[in-house]
Amino acid sequence: MERVESGPSRSEGAYGSFEHAVFLAEQVRDRTDALNSALEEIKLSNQALKLANAEAQTAHLNLQEAIESISDGFVLYDRDRRLLLANSNFKTFWEACGIQIRAGMHYEEILALAKKRRLIERYYGDDLDTGGSPLGDGKVVRMRGGSWMQVSQRQTGDGGLVVLYKDISALIENERALRERALANKSKVLQHTLDNLSQSVVLVNRKNQVEAWNRHFSQLIGVEFDRIKAGDSFSALMADTEVSDLNPASRDSRGQPCLRQEQALSDGRILEICSHPLPSGEFVNTYTDITERSRAVLALERSEQRIRLITDAVPALIAYVDKQLRFEFTNRAYEAWYGWEREDILGQQLDRVVPPQQLAKLQPYIEQALAGEQVSFEIADPSSDGEDRYVIKNYRPQRDAEGRVQGFYVLVHDITEQRRSAEALAQSHQLLEQRVEERTVELTEVNHQLVQEIDERRLIEKRLLEAKKEAEQANHSKTKFLAAASHDLLQPMNAARLFSASLLEHRLEDKTRALVQSLNYSLEDVETLLAALVDISKLDAGVVTPDVTAFSANDLLANLANEYQTLAAQSTLQFDWVGSSAVIDTDSQLLARILRNFLSNALRYTEQGRILLGCRRRHDGLSIEVWDTGIGIAADKLEEIFVEFNRVRHNNSAQDKGLGLGLAIVDKMSRILGHQVSVRSTPGRGSCFSVLVPYGEPAAPELRSPPLQSAHWQQLADQQLRHRRVLVLDNDHAICEAMQLLLEGWGCETVSALGYDEVLAQREELTGLDLVIADYHLDDNRTGLEAVARIRSELGVLAPVLMITANYSNDLKQQVRALGYRLMNKPVKPAKLKAVMQHLIG
């Protein structure tokens, strides 16, 4: 400083040095502060590093514990695929195999050891050396000891690899058991399905061994189902039967493959055998019983042959063409006309048989026929020899049930000779002018006759169609009459009979009782005549069909004896009957009607002596016979008595009010049932009428009418009806009133109703109901069955049911029988009604 102050010439340099020194001092201070800060930060970093090392050691320990806690084998490889870490399970597995696993081993070394020791029996997935890993992700390996391992791997973020080895032996075994159970269930379902097939089915493997079959197959070959074993030779099984051994290798007589054939067995059955080869070399055989179908086809063939015989004998040309213009039928005359064989023309299109020019002429008439019009026209038609002949063709449409045209019939009449006659007349006209007028007149007359003939044929055809329509209408009217006679005519008759019977239940003066009894007899006569007319009409209309069941002949004979013993006593005749333990198979009601006609005739034509009802056992059936000591029948009259309205003359003709329909009805009913009716008679000594009924198998017992009753028993039975509550349901007020009077005369308490609504209104009076008597036909097209069903379901009334109807159909009979009800037909006979009520209530 002194130098600076003393040396003015150097003052500027000294000051600069001072400033520089000050600047350096500032820098030294700054550097010192920065060094102190860095030292502090280094100190803090050292502390954080110690803490991080401690946490890393803790995390490493936790990772090791977590890996050890894994129940499966765990291994970790670095990016070079060297082993870094493995848990004890992984090491224990290798130690058990005699291999020491250590850190740093390469996966190739581990793989080589596994291959060397042959630890892996089979693997499922990629190859062991694909993808840079010992095994692909999620692959399954079967070890040599029988255990199963699932290997899963995942790559780490630094390129390392984590591999997990999981023992899935238990899971594999469980799944295998589930699959076996499912397969067994499927086998049961398949076998159940096969057993429920109506066909015989067998599955044969490629070694010709039986794999699966159903019970129908075992029955077909005559071997018990359980004796057939899977693996049995199919050819050996079939060799012991008469059934053909059909298989995919079978050939027919021409050496062609044969996969289907029909075979007739010794027992009359016809089998359809089909062999179905499978792609795997197996085949399935099906055996179908086509006996009925073959019989139907044979019957159709026979019917077609009969039709063919008739149509082939007709000189007219006949054919049928369907709406696709294909020939479906031709007769011999048609085929000979055009020179075709039957097998060549049937199924052919019209344009292949008829030349194009001729077809163009026929096209308008064909269109008219397919439109539903009947067409008749004259046309030149070449025959098979090329000669032009003139014909009259008639096209008649054929319609189905809905009125749609399905094709048309072709009727052809050859009029060539008439045309040639006309041409000859024309030539004669040119050659002989002097006979022009005469020939013209003749030709005109011939043409006129032809026109008249055509008109007459058209008129005849029209009349035939009208007659057919009238016949159909008459048949329909007859059916309606039968329905009306069965219900509307018998309804008032039923009411009258009930009224007269109820009057007889009251105390009357002798004269009044005699009048009522006469009225009752008259009603019985009217009922008998009306029933006979209705029966003969129904039999002629073909609406009666038998309801064949098996039942005891003794029950039927007992009921008839019970019915006619009293009537015979009234005529001072001795009535005897002999029972039978035989079971017969027929319609019980129709057979009863036949026997009643026999017995009624015996009563009518026997003035003194006895009547016998009995049976004779024959090898072909049971002969039920009615013997009498009546007037007898002459030998030349035995066939006439079965003709309608034909009667044997009776000495007391005033009392014989029959129409002569009884034996005619017997004849028609026996034909329906297929039973043989016989008659033997000696004039002045008596007759024997019999019917032969086939035997049957015993059936379940049915509801029967009570047997013959003694007076004491009858008195006890009458007491059963006293104070019994009965519901009468009928849409006819007169029937309800008459039925109520009759039942109250027997001591019953009666509730009557015209329909279900009235029953519902009186529901409080239905408590303790003992019997329901219902008419089948009610108003508004309702039936008694519907009303009884509602009474049972809605009102809880479960009393026995007696259904009364004028409907004699088998369908109704079966329906009532299936419901467990009893059925009676109108007009109701009071005595029979009383017996049935006692039986139902008792």
Report how far apart, in Å, the C-alpha atoms of 437 and of each of 148, 265, 432, 449, 450 are.
121, 79, 10, 18, 20
Per-residue pLDDT tens over the stretch 610-636: 999 999 999 999 999 999 998 888 887
Mean pLDDT for the stretch of residues 378-405: 81
pLDDT the model gives residue 705 = 46
Nearest to 262, CA basis, from 293, 303, 237, 284: 293
Tell me, yes or no, whether 351 and 212 share the same domain: no
Per-residue pLDDT tens over the stretch 325-339: 888 888 887 777 777
- Residue that terminates a domain, selected from 442, 467, 492: 467
Residue 777 has pLDDT above 90, yes or no: no
DSSP 350-381: HHHHS-HHHHHHHHHHHHHHHTT--EEEEEEE
pLDDT the model gives residue 576 = 92
Tell me, yes or no, whether 321 and 396 share the same domain: yes
Per-residue pLDDT tens over the stretch 148-167: 888 888 888 888 888 888 87
pLDDT the model gives residue 614 = 92
pLDDT the model gives residue 122 = 73
294 located within any domain: no
Residue of higher predicted confidence among 31 and 180: 31
Nearest to 625, CA basis, from 576, 682, 671, 684: 576
Per-residue pLDDT tens over the stretch 702-725: 444 444 444 454 556 567 788 888
Per-residue pLDDT tens over the stretch 577-620: 998 889 999 988 888 888 988 898 888 889 889 999 999 999 99
pLDDT the model gives residue 127 = 43
261 located within any domain: yes
698 located within any domain: no
Residue of higher predicted confidence among 788 and 657: 788
The pair of structure tokens assigned to 557 is 């004979």
Tell me, yes or no, whether 745 and 817 share the same domain: yes
Highest mean pLDDT among 37-46, 114-123, 538-547, 550-559: 550-559
Q: How many domains does the chain have?
A: 6
Query: What's this model's pTM, rounded to 2 decimal places?
Result: 0.37
137 Cβ neighbours under 8 A, 6+ residues apart: 151, 152, 153, 154
Q: CATH no. for residue 309?
A: 3.30.450.20
Tell me, yes or no, whether 319 and 412 share the same domain: yes
Highest mean pLDDT among 246-250, 350-354, 485-489: 246-250
Instruction: Please state, in angstroms and rounded to a whole number, the distance separating the CA atoms of residues 795 and 789.
Output: 10
Instruction: Please state, in angstroms and rounded to a whole number, the distance separating the CA atoms of residues 722 and 748.
Output: 5
Residue 133 has pLDDT above 80, yes or no: no
Instruction: Please state, in angstroms and rounded to a whole number, the distance separating the CA atoms of residues 535 and 523.
Output: 18
648 located within any domain: yes
651 located within any domain: yes
Tell me, yes or no, whether 241 and 306 share the same domain: no
Average pLDDT, the chain: 78
Tell me, yes or no, whether 212 and 349 share the same domain: no
Q: CATH no. for residue 129?
A: 3.30.450
Length reported for the chain: 842
With a pLDDT cut of 90, the percent of the chain lying above it is 6
Residue 694 has pLDDT above 90, yes or no: yes
Eight-state DSSP code of residue 349: B
Instruction: Please state, in angstroms and rounded to a whole number, the distance separating the CA atoms of residues 823 and 711.
Output: 27
Mean pLDDT for the stretch of residues 390-414: 86
User: At 76, is the pLDDT very low, low, confident or very high (cuts 50, 70, 90)?
Assistant: confident
Per-residue pLDDT tens over the stretch 503-531: 666 676 766 766 666 666 666 656 665 66
Domain that holds residue 33: 2-55
Tell me, yes or no, whether 558 and 673 share the same domain: yes
Per-residue pLDDT tens over the stretch 627-685: 999 888 888 777 777 765 555 655 554 445 555 567 877 888 888 888 998 999 888 88
Tell me, yes or no, whether 138 and 269 share the same domain: no
Residue of higher predicted confidence among 445 and 183: 445
pLDDT the model gives residue 134 = 40
Nearest to 663, CA basis, from 596, 569, 730: 596
Tell me, yes or no, whether 101 and 202 share the same domain: no
Instruction: Please state, in angstroms and rounded to a whole number, the distance separating the CA atoms of residues 343 and 347.
Output: 8
736 located within any domain: yes
Mean pLDDT for the stretch of residues 261-289: 87
CA 298 to chain CA mean position, Å: 24
